[in-house]
Chain A
Amino acid sequence: MPYLGGEDTVRELRRALSNPNVQSDQLRYRNTILKVIRAMSQGVDVSGLFSDMVKACATVDIVQKKLVYVFLCSYAALNPELSLLVINTLRKDCQDPNPMVRSLALRNMTNLRLPSLMEYVEQPLTAGLRDRAACVRRVAVLGWAKLHNLQPNSEIDAAVVNELYSLLRDPDPVVMVNCLRALEEILKEEGGIAINKPITHHLLNRLSDVWGQCEVLRILQRYRPQSEDELFDILSLLDASLVSPHPQVMAATLSLFLSLCSGLPAVSLAALERVRGPLLAACGSVSRELRFTALCHIQLLLRSLPGLMGAHYKRFFCGYAEPAYIKQRKMQVLVELVNDDNVTMLLDELKGYCTDVNTDTAQAAISAIGRIGRSYSDRCLEILTGLLALKQEHITSAVVQTMRDLVWVCPQCSDTVCLALEGCEETLQDSQGRQALLWLLGVYGEQVSSAPYTLEVFIDGVRSEVSLGVKMELLTTTMRLFLCRPAETQDMLGRLLHYCIEEEPDMCVRDQALLYYRLLHCGIEETQKVLQGRRSDPSLGVLIGRPSEPISQWACSFNTLEPLRQGTVETDSTSRGSPEHVTFEPKPNTDLSDTLNFSLTLLLFLGDEKMEEDYMCLEEQIQFPAIPHCSPQSLQAAMQLVNIQTLAFTPPHTLPWRVYLYTHTQHAGDSPHITLILGELLYTGEANQRAVLKKALKGFLSILTTVLHTLSSERK
């Protein structure tokens, strides 16, 4: 962006810089340079002053030196030849008696980032490694890393590497840690610094400042202790930093702990108990970002130890001024913590959030209540029904959707839900909410006395309806209602079908209407068979109290950005159990669509055929030897060990016993893609055999494809 008067400024500055009177007066000279830097930081292009600034570099004034270096480092890449002129001054400064000047020169020499200067830099850097002053050694050590980074293919002298290894024993802790960092960079190709037993123990005994500590702990994750005794020695050394008041140290320590104890689940669990205090403290941190980070990590821990925070649920109550992203995470945590003792308090609190000014927060609160409703349906329905009385558009929409999800899992709630539905069509505006209402009217039409009237309003307005989803849902609902209340519905069904077949521009709606029309010709019994499927799926017992996952499931993403970026994928996918809904309605719920988008990226990229091809060859590779009879629980546990998660399963002892499974690939290298693999496992009983039914898989897959397509088209 051009800066107004930029050229004038530069011209004026050049005149001042080259003015001998200014140059001879050090204070004036420095002030002029100050003006250059100020202009630079305001976005003016002052690169034209490069040669004048190079001259200003030769000075005894350290303030001026610093200023000039700031300038030179910013523009050196544009003026490689002129930069050569600075090198002499810099090399001379490296001999200065003042260690501050030496370190300054050395640091800026490496910050110029010019490959052409490399040959001049190596000698001062080598000398810097042996400097008396720690501040010079710190800079020199990192200088080698920068040098290597600049020319990754060039060989670094083995003597330098050896020197760096020996500097790991430097008395200055920052020099030591910088050595680690430099060696990691230089030896990147070989997999980083070689960590052996003496180095490990040396580093562990010299854990110093907060930042360095995190670095050391991270690098030590590569070390494997040689014996159990050694392992426990290391663990006891780490114990103090496990409860460190600095969240970053605590997190880095726990991460190392978990990687060291991957074979000792009991020890890992004990470590999780240990960090409860510090984690809770971090949840109360003044910084909201740290609070958010702590919350996201608590969510990980809860996957393996659901009871970890049960007694501390009040710590997850939201403050009025907290940002929405924290409130939503807190609610996700609260849902996990619910039990008989705290359910009243917890629901009371969540109820308060339902009227939050932020609509996303309000809707998240409502869906959280719905989740709790799976275990405490009466209390939750009472709250949800009460919310409808507020007649707020976004609240009503979220409540109706939540009720639909709840009814699918707990059909015993249907009576209450049907009573509550009366009259809420007036408040509903958005398509997702209206779709949910239509679905409920279709499935439970005989229980809602006003259902035909509500439908009539929809049908009368179908001409001006914009949402495809609503139109398709409306067709299905009218058909369903016709089946149970033909007298009241026949006329409007006729009108709807007529409109959809004759006038509707969208092919999908027209085709669906034609299908229903022809279906009706086949007779009412056939129609019933097609349309009156299951109205709920209690047999698809969605895992409510999730079984605790093994720690290895999430240990690798602990203390990274991952938990902050993704919602809890597993939590959401288990809660969205019903294939019926997802076929027709992409849920508006943001975290679901995010989830799918996130974990199914590769599928979306690939397109249909490729995906199916991939899937089919995968299927062919799977071998199914006869597995001796085992309980669903043990099967599930065994699957989890190989990172296969259960989405939903039928209750044990029912036949055929079905399990929906999924798994996804880990991050491979820098590739951001994650492939999600889904499958259905069918257990027919008698013969102790398991088989993956191609048909079922395809069905399952096609449902997902539909969702994905709808989602991706909606996104555009």
Chain B
Amino acid sequence: SIKSKTFILLYMITTSTSDVDMAEIDHFMPLLMQHEEEGLLCPVLSHGSVHFMWIKHSNLYLVATTNKNANASLVYSFLYKLVEIVKIQSYTEPPQIRPMSILEEESIQDNFVVVYELLDELMDFGFPQTTDSKILQEYITQEGTKLEVAKSKVPTTVTNAVSWRSEGIKYKKNEVFIDVIESINVLVNANGSVMSSDIVGSIKLKTMLSGMPELRLGLNDRVLFALTGRDKGKTVVMEDVKFHQCVRLSRFESDRTISFIPPDGESELMSYRINTHVKPLIWIESVIEKFSHSRVEIMVKAKGQFKKQSVANNVEVRVPVPSDADSPKFKTSTGNAKYVPEKNLVVWTIKSFPGGKEFLMRAHFGLPSVEKDELEGKPPITVKFEIPYFTVSGIQVRYMKIIEKSGYQALPWVRYITQSGDYQLRTNV
């Protein structure tokens, strides 16, 4: 059908565009399906001398074709960057056009002009060009804007020294919102030992400041030591620390100050990953007993292993059940349990979960007397939660100094939040 043929074609050929025929892409879908059937699916598929490197995003395949022995991580990073940019850009569209917060086939069709424009700016002759979304925004002529505006607008960043910020930004009230967000990834095996755990953190800014402000962010020492890898004895080692391009890295290397001219609006100032043994904040003990041909009994105990003063919000414990289970019955000491048959899950929701507390959920399912033949996997229990005013790593913003030559006063607001990332506990059944 036409629909399944909507592809974004990208030409990632390192030296020349003409080397790969446009028609080559027609081989992609059959190839993909054939490999999928044989269980040999792989992110690189080849047809003759042409390689397809693809990613899947919701119901879209983004494919890069090349006949060179290309730099694989570059191609995949670019494809993901593309998804990210198309999402952000379309989000700024006027309301009558569906925002592309989810990139999918329909949203591409609704926004195809923006997508064409973006592709044009992102890549020329198969080479990545500008991928900074703030700069791109200025190149993109927006659908709904008036003709005059579209014509006379000259991108200010084109010749600018500070490429990520335009000049002449004005706000009535000057404010910066700082969000410190940490996600916990945990994998616990069936007998209750933590196989791996890490923290992925990010500091996000929402800048509403006039002019060209100069910002300085102070973090607590413990974290700074970890960032620079000094004092290895006491502190956790951070790996994979990324700063937004606006941060003066040389300054950070020399005296550990994070100083920068911020991009306007929302941006991620830095991200980090700490590979350390974290106590799972919400601990789950489960007993799942399966009596073939008759029933499944599930008992789940959830315990908040964090400070009593903190509260986890919107906790969701997702417990897998066999796909042929029926007639659910639940009993919970708090919160609500719900059966989601299309996902073969029981979702136990607890709106507010104070630290140190323990809750219980029991579930009972019937099983048909005729058993299914096919083997079922052992999906893990997953947990979702959010704990405000708290970070696992102990990272803290000490100060945020804002200096602008006009001398206005600006207020920084800081929020901390810890949330679940990939949080899995394996079960025995």
- Which of chain A's residues 242-292 have a Cβ closer than 8 Å to chain B? 245-248, 251-252, 277-278, 280-282, 284, 287-290, 292
- A-side contacts of B129, CB under 8 Å: 138, 174, 178, 211
A319 in the interface, Cβ–Cβ < 8 Å?
yes
State whether the Cβ of A293 lies closer than 8 Å to any Cβ in chain B: yes
- Contact partner, A317, options B18, B196, B242, Cβ 8 Å: B196
Assess whether A132 is in contact with B159, with CB atoms less than 8 Å apart: yes
Q: Pick from B49, B71, B155, B378: contact of A214, CB below 8 A.
A: B71
The reply to whether B198 and A292 contact each other, CB–CB distance below 8 Å, is: no
Could you tell me the dominant secondary structure of chain B's interface residues? mixed
Closest chain A residue, CB of each to CB of B377: A357
- Chain A neighbourhood of B422, CB < 8 A: 319
Which chain A residue shows the least CB distance to B161?
A: A171
User: B112 to A66, Cβ gap below 8 A?
Assistant: no
> How many whole Å from A102's CB to the nearest CB in chain B?
11
Bound state CA distance, A38 and B422, in angstroms?
39
How far is B375's CA from A198's CA once the two chains are assembled, in angstroms?
64
CB-nearest residue of chain A relative to B22?
A74
B412 at the interface (CB under 8 A from A): no
Q: Which B residues are CB-close (under 8 A) to A178?
A: 124, 127, 129
Which A residues are CB-close (under 8 A) to B70?
560-561
Which B residue's beta carbon lies closest to that of A139?
B124
Q: B residues within 8 A CB of A132? A: 159
Count A-B contacts at CB 8 Å: 220
- Mark interface residues in A318-343 (1 if CB within 8 Å of B CB, else 0): 01100111000000000000000000
Q: Are A98 and B154 in contact (CB under 8 A)?
A: yes
User: In the complex, what's the smallest C-beta–C-beta distance from B41 to chain A, in angstroms?
Assistant: 6
B2's partner among A43, A146, A277, A349 (CB-CB below 8 A) is A43
Tally B residues with Cβ within 8 Å of A: 77
Q: Which of B75-83, B309-317, B330-338, B393-401 contacts its partner? A: B75-83
Q: Which residues from B are CB-within-8-Å of A357?
A: 375-377
Chain B residues 126 to 161 lying within 8 A of chain A, measured CB to CB, are 127-131, 139, 141, 143, 147, 150-152, 154-155, 158-159
State in angstroms the CA–CA spacing of A41 and B77 once bound together. 25
B377 with A320: CB separation less than 8 A: yes
Residues on A with C-beta less than 8 A from B376 are 357
Query: Is the CB–CB distance between A184 and B15 below 8 Å?
Result: yes
Q: Which residues in B have their C-beta under 8 angstroms from that of A188?
A: 15
Given A281-B239, A289-B55, decide whether A61 and B128 contact each other with a Cβ distance below 8 A: no
Bound Cα distance from A34 to B127, whole angstroms: 27
Question: Considering the chains assembled together, what is the distance between the CA atoms of A135 and B378 in angstroms?
Answer: 54
Residues in A neighbouring B141, C-beta threshold 8 A: 62-63, 66
User: In which size bucket is the chain A interface?
Assistant: 35 or more
Provide the residues of chain A in CB contact with B65, threshold 8 Å.
none
Q: At the interface, yes or no: B23 with Cβ under 8 Å from chain A?
A: no
Instruction: List the A side residues contacting B154 at CB < 8 Å.
Output: 98-100
- Contact across chains for A289 and B2 when beta carbons are under 8 A apart: no
Q: Are B72 and A559 within 8 A (Cβ)?
A: yes
Inter-chain contact A561/B44, CB cutoff 8 Å: yes
Asked if A562 lies at the interface with its beta carbon under 8 angstroms from chain B, I say yes
What 1/0 flags go to A1-17 for Cβ under 8 Å of B?
Answer: 10100000000000000
Contacts of A559 in B (CB 8 A): 71-73
Evaluate contact between B195 and A564: CB separation under 8 angstroms. Answer: no
Most-contacted residue by chain A among B154, B241, B380 (CB, 10 A): B154
Q: How far is the CB of B103 from chain A (nearest CB, A)?
A: 14
Q: Are A245's CB and B377's CB within 8 A?
A: no
Given contacts A290-B73, A293-B72, contact A67 B2 (CB under 8 A): no
Instruction: Say how far A598's CB is from chain B's closest CB, in angstroms.
Output: 11
Q: Are A564 and B240 in contact (CB under 8 A)?
A: no
Q: Does B305 contact A (CB under 8 A)?
A: no
Majority DSSP secondary structure for residues of A touching B? helix
Chain A residues with CB under 8 A of B5: 1, 43
Q: How far in angstroms is the closest Cβ of chain B from A692?
A: 34
In the complex, the answer to whether A62 meets B150 with C-beta atoms within 8 Å is yes
Q: Which residue of B lies closest to A324 (CB)?
A: B39
**Chain B neighbourhood of A251, CB < 8 A:** 71, 73-74
Contact bitstring B387-424, A, C-beta under 8 A = 1, else 0? 00000000000000000000000000000000000101
Contact A325:B42 (CB < 8 A) given known A66-B116, A149-B18: yes
Task: Chain A residues near B239: list those with CB within 8 A.
Answer: 277-278, 280-281
Q: Of all chain A residues, which has the CB nearest B42?
A: A325
Q: Given B44, B76, B190, which contacts A565 in the complex, CB threshold below 8 Å? A: B44
| CA of A348 to CA of B380, assembled, Å | 17
For A41, list chain B residues within 8 Å (CB): 6, 109, 112
Question: Which residues in B have their C-beta under 8 angstroms from that of A98?
Answer: 151-152, 154
**Interface residue ranges, A against B (CB under 8 Å):** 1, 3, 26-27, 34, 37-38, 41-43, 60-63, 66-67, 70, 98-100, 107, 113, 132-135, 138-139, 142, 145-146, 149-150, 174, 177-178, 181, 184-185, 188, 209-211, 214-215, 218, 245-248, 251-252, 277-278, 280-282, 284, 287-290, 292-294, 296, 314-315, 317, 319-320, 323-325, 348-349, 352, 355-360, 392, 557, 559-562, 564-565, 590, 667, 670, 672
22 contacts between A and B (CB under 8 A): A38-B112, A41-B109, A99-B155, A100-B154, A133-B158, A135-B155, A138-B129, A211-B128, A252-B74, A278-B240, A287-B76, A289-B79, A292-B43, A320-B379, A324-B39, A358-B39, A360-B39, A392-B375, A559-B73, A560-B71, A561-B53, A561-B70
Q: Can you list the 5 inter-chain pairs with the closest CB atoms, starting with the nearest? A: A211-B128, A281-B240, A248-B74, A357-B377, A248-B73
Binding site for A on B (CB under 8 A): 2, 5-6, 15-18, 39-44, 46, 49, 51, 53, 55, 66, 69-74, 76-80, 109, 112-113, 116-117, 120, 124-125, 127-131, 139, 141, 143, 147, 150-152, 154-155, 158-159, 185, 187, 189-190, 195-196, 198, 239-242, 245, 273, 275, 375-380, 422, 424, 426
Extra contacts besides A324-B39, A561-B70 (7): CB < 8 Å: A41-B112, A133-B159, A281-B240, A287-B76, A288-B43, A290-B80, A292-B43
